[in-house]
């Protein structure tokens, strides 16, 4: 099976499951908000984001393992894959022990944190305790990296999509039963078990802790630092809003970002689906093809983001208000910046994958720290100046002042990628995107849709945006190539 087919299958499964998850999420969110209340809903988001920092306790193992596993898988070196998995499982096992040990005081101290003031301390402690259970499964993360390195991303997508759906269903049932925050976090924990179990079964022949060479220690520090910077950038916004503005503001902040975040996740799926194929090209010495593919994928991510995010930004609060009510909207500035951030995260994530999988994180680490410093400084100042939009402005500044020039520069040094080529690929879609945005704004201003009609207008605008990309962003040969790639994802066509 070719690289294109595997990548296309990963993209298709990711898109399909995103649609299902999106539909269920839109149906469940108003019910959870109404049943739990805005304060408890916001407290749940804050607690989950705090628990998300547990990923830092792998101390860079994931990056170091990926840097060893991906090249070995790309070369077809089964011995190298076995050695990397054994070293990764040993390292992950030590980290899991430390993580669970650190989690116990986290559960005991969580009720004393400011965002949870006013809640029953036993409810917060029990909810935090349920989040400890998945932490013990940290070693099984190695099997997800193994599947992705072998370009089995469509299976990973199917499992994580099913996990997301299970989580929503279990959370809705727990809210209906009146189990409060412990029921919500227990649902999150239970839904993770089947995914980990299936991935373990798929890679079970590599499940060994046999002694051997450790992972390259030089990669640990860089991987840990980059992961920490990314985690803080992603999750500090919610925590900052909770600390300064309170849990009710967290609910509006999270709900306002929900739709842009869903689009961002789908756009990032392009990088998730293709990084293993890009690394295969790198391992085989096809540098020119790698650079061409990365520029092509950059143009794709940028174009799809423009087509879908512009209608979301122009709609302002109409979509959120019709979904969960006006109390769920954090304002025009926050919704617009959330759309800008979704586009920036998607493009940067695509550019970052070759550095992670290729073992070049040491080159990126200093810039990741600089971007984080800008992000945090602007976020803290911004939340006091403009409210909930402040942390989102900090993210935009971090990307604009650091990532925008540093990522292409590091890619140039690591893989010979042309920064000018990447800039052209990312920005050229704005040639049709700017007129499209003006037309969409005029359309919304004239029609002023609300309620259910707002969703119809937004969907029609997104369809028009995709049409602009197809007819004005691609030439005839490019359209033919994309049709062929899409058709190859269909199993019947593969056997024809």
Q: Are residues 70 and 200 in the same domain?
A: yes
Q: Are residues 322 and 261 in the same domain?
A: yes
Local confidence band at 3 (pLDDT 50, 70, 90 cut-offs) = low
Q: Are 485 and 8 in contact (CB under 8 A)?
A: yes
Q: Are residues 436 and 401 in the same domain?
A: yes
Asked whether residue 458 carries a pLDDT value surpassing 60, the answer given is yes
Q: Are residues 238 and 335 in the same domain?
A: yes
Q: Are residues 228 and 178 in the same domain?
A: no
Q: What is the mean pLDDT of residues 252-258?
A: 90
φ/ψ (deg, to 5) at 295: -65, -40
Please give the tally of structural domains in the chain.
2
Asked whether residue 490 carries a pLDDT value surpassing 80, the answer given is no
Beta strands in 229-300 (DSSP E): none
Local confidence band at 1 (pLDDT 50, 70, 90 cut-offs) = very low
Asked whether residue 494 carries a pLDDT value surpassing 70, the answer given is no
Query: Tokens 């373990």 belong to which residue?
Result: 200
Q: Are 295 and 421 in contact (CB under 8 A)?
A: yes
Q: Are residues 47 and 102 in the same domain?
A: yes
Asked whether residue 238 carries a pLDDT value surpassing 70, the answer given is yes
User: Around Cβ 17, how many Cβ atoms within 10 Å?
Assistant: 22
Q: Are residues 292 and 192 in the same domain?
A: no
Convert the pLDDT of each residue in 174-218 to its tens digit.
Answer: 999 999 999 999 999 999 999 999 999 998 887 776 766 667 665
Convert the pLDDT of each residue in 24-68 to its tens digit.
Answer: 777 788 889 889 998 898 889 888 888 877 766 677 788 788 878
Q: Are residues 251 and 227 in the same domain?
A: yes
452: tokens are 């259910």
Q: Are residues 243 and 205 in the same domain?
A: no
Helix axes 404-415, 332-357, angle to 10 degrees: 10
Q: What is the mean pLDDT of the chain?
A: 87
Query: Tokens 């077809």 belong to which residue?
Result: 76
Q: Are residues 182 and 330 in the same domain?
A: no
Q: Are residues 283 and 297 in the same domain?
A: yes
Residues with Cβ within 8 Å of 288's Cβ and at least 6 positions away in sequence, in order, are: none
- Name the domain boundary from 190, 215, 240: 215
**Most distant CA atoms of the chain, gap in Å:** 69
Which of 377, 42, 381, 351 has the alpha carbon at shortest distance from 184?
42
Local confidence band at 496 (pLDDT 50, 70, 90 cut-offs) = very low
Convert the pLDDT of each residue in 64-99 to its tens digit.
Answer: 888 788 888 888 888 888 888 988 898 888 888 888
Give the domain extent around 149.
Answer: 1-215
- Name the domain boundary from 171, 192, 215: 215
Q: What is the mean pLDDT of residues 386-400?
A: 94
Q: Are residues 342 and 488 in the same domain?
A: yes
- Name the domain boundary from 215, 239, 260: 215
pLDDT (0 to 100) of residue 175: 94
Asked whether residue 266 carries a pLDDT value surpassing 60, the answer given is yes
């Amino acid at each position: 099976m070719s690289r294109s087919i595997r990548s296309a299958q990963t993209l298709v499964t990711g898109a399909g499951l995103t649609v299902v998850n999106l539909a269920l999420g839109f149906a469940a969110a108003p019910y959870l908000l109404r049943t739990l209340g805005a304060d408890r809903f916001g407290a749940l988001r804050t607690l989950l984001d705090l628990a998300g920092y547990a990923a830092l306790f792998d101390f860079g193992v994931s990056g170091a393992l990926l840097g060893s596993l991906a090249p070995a898988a790309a070369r077809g070196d089964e011995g190298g894959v076995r050695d990397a998995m054994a070293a990764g499982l040993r390292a992950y096992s030590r980290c899991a022990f430390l993580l669970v040990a650190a989690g116990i005081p986290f559960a005991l101290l969580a009720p004393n944190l400011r965002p949870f003031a006013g809640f029953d301390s036993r409810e917060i402690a029990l909810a935090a305790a349920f989040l400890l259970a998945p932490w013990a499964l940290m070693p099984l993360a190695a099997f997800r990296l193994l599947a992705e390195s072998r370009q089995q991303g469509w299976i990973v997508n199917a499992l994580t999509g099913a996990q997301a759906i299970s989580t929503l269903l279990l959370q809705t049932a727990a809210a209906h039963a009146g189990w409060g925050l412990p029921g919500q976090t227990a649902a999150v924990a239970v839904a993770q078990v089947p995914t980990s179990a299936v991935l373990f079964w798929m890679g079970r022949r590599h499940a060994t802790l046999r002694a051997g060479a450790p992972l390259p220690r030089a990669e640990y520090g860089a991987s840990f630092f980059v992961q920490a910077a990314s985690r803080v950038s992603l999750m500090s916004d919610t925590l900052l809003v909770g600390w300064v503005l309170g849990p009710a503001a967290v609910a509006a902040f999270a709900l306002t970002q929900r739709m842009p975040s869903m689009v961002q996740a789908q756009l990032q799926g392009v990088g998730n689906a293709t990084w293993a194929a890009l690394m295969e090209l790198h391992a085989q010495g096809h540098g020119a093809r790698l650079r061409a593919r990365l520029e092509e994928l950059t143009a794709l991510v940028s174009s799809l983001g423009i087509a879908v995010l512009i209608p979301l930004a122009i709609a302002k609060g109409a979509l959120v208000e019709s979904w969960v009510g006006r109390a769920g909207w954090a304002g025009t500035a926050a919704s617009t910046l959330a759309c800008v951030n979704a586009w920036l995260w998607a493009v940067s994530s695509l550019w970052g994958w070759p550095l992670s999988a290729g073992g070049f994180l040491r080159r990126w680490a200093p810039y990741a720290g600089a971007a984080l410093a800008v992000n945090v400084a602007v976020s803290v100042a911004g939340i006091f100046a403009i409210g909930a939009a402040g942390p989102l402005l900090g993210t935009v500044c971090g990307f604009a002042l650091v990532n925008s020039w540093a990522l292409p520069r590091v890619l140039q040094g690591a893989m010979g990628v042309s920064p000018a080529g990447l800039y052209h690929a990312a920005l050229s879609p704005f040639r049709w995107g700017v007129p499209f945005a003006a037309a969409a704004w005029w359309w919304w201003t004239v029609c002023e849709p609300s309620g259910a009609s707002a969703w119809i207008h937004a969907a029609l605008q997104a369809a028009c945006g995709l049409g602009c990309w197809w007819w004005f962003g691609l030439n005839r040969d490019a359209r033919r190539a994309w049709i062929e790639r899409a058709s190859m994802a269909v199993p019947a066509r593969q056997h024809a």
